Amino acid sequence: MPQYIQYGSHILDSPREECGLIGIYTRDTESLGRRCFFGLFTLQHRGQESAGIAVTDGQTIYHHKGMGLVTQVFTEDNVAELTGTIGIGHVRYSTTGSTTLRNAQPILGNFRGMPFALAHNGNLINAAPLRREIEQGGIVLSSTSDSELIVKLIEISEHTDFTEALLAALQRIQGAYALVIMTPDRLIGLRDPWGIRPLVIGRAEGDDYVLASETCALGLLGTRFVREVEPGEMVTIHDGELRAERAERYVTDALCVFEFIYFARPDSRMYGRVLYESRRSMGHMLAQEHPVNADLVIGIPDTGIPGAIGYAEAARIPFAHGLVKNRYIQRTFIQPDQRMREMGVRMKLAPLPDVLQGKRVVVVDDSIVRGTTTGPQVQLLRDAGAAEVHLRICAPPIKYPCFYGIDMANQKELIASRMTVPELERHLGPDSLGYQSIPSLVRALGIPRNRFCLACFDGRYPCPIPEDIKVTKFALEEAVSGAE
């Protein structure tokens, strides 16, 4: 199979998504595969590297997964074959483990003769030592993702009951995780004790239940939002009934703040807030904190648009669409050469010179991570005729690496960790640069600061990071190559 190349990694400077999860329990066996497909389709923004669905008819687990977008992996024929009463699905952006088919999910396991499947969103900070321990026990691992480690911990457990084996496995893992797990007769959902990664519960008429990373998946599937799975909680759907229990001791609420800033779809709800309104409020706060005389406000599509609208409203400056996004550039089989990489921003974004010509422009974006595309974006606007370009960023400066499932684990790559704002202005080329402060961001969210993980801004990690473990995206590949 040809290797996919994701141009987004060269073109966008926002943090890369984590993964998206769906779990469905239904009596309508014929529609299960189709419903899993549409659930994943609504969560496509959370991962575009691979997609997979596993279903069970009560005895056997059937699955299909592949590299690429949901619509590339699944066809009418292979979806029609996915019938049953329980199904789970996964879209992936890799945070531990490279972009290969062997790391696609769901992952199948076998516990004392009983098949099960697991899908994971998050990142285990003790993946490397766990892998060494498991391999030293003679277990052969087929992937380099941390998710398979959870499956193996369940399989090799001394417990004879699946739930007890699962709970014991949770005691061995450290880090961020939301899990959906399927056995022949039950659907299970779990969140880590800090609730870093999201998971919600939906219910339809009758006994149908849905577990999903975001509420945006519920409406399309004809289910109503019930509630979020609590940090450290395990929910089990069996025989049409949902049972909730404490899987691990509750520590705190520490939802990743980037769900509000960037990751989640704007029509999703988290902590009772519609994310579009939260992003619009970020723009309001940003305008108060960093005002500027300008003629119009534009947003970097798509996630910068709500903040730009909010900025324009608060500053009483007209909002306009100054950039058009090419929506069909996410993936290609064509290997990019250096010239194509240099064309990256122009391949992704097209300016509207008639809108920008001679204007003093405020440009609102969600974040700056590595700074690799921000400078070219500024130049793109200048080339289109903008007289002034003033950058306004909804997120505070990203100075610290994330170890919980966002692809920014190397601090050296984070441009704000090594440059001051004046230095960034000179390096990136805008007439001015304004980041939202942490207090301003918290006011925009309207939710207490202690309910979020803000570690990438302030270095305060809710789940302690072992000093002797350096976590990178390819930590398990490094562990494997070092052992060979």
Mind telling me the catalytic residues?
Answer: 19
Eight-state DSSP code of residue 3: P
Structure tokens at 30: 């014929």
Contact 433, 391 (CB under 8 A): yes
Structure tokens at 341: 């990489």
Output Rg (C-alpha) for the chain, integer angstroms: 22
What letters, b where the CB count within 10 A reaches 16 and e where it falls short, cover 275-305? bbebbbbbbbbbbebbbbebbbbbbbbebbb
Residue ranges of E strands in 309-428: 323-325, 331-332, 349-351, 360-365, 388-393
326 contacts: CB under 8 Å, gap ≥ 6: 347, 348, 349, 350
Determine how β-strand 233-238 pairs with β-strand 224-228: unpaired
333: number of Cβ within 10 Å: 10
Helix runs in 179-260, H state only: 216-220, 258
Element (H, E) at 473: none
Q: Which amino acid is at 57?
A: D
Contact 275, 260 (CB under 8 A): yes
Q: Which amino acid is at 183?
A: T
Q: Residue for token digits 């004046």?
A: 422
Three-class DSSP category at 22: strand
325: number of Cβ within 10 Å: 14
For 18, 368, 383, 414, 428, the CA distances from 372, given in Å and listed in that order, are 20, 9, 18, 10, 9
Contact 459, 399 (CB under 8 A): yes
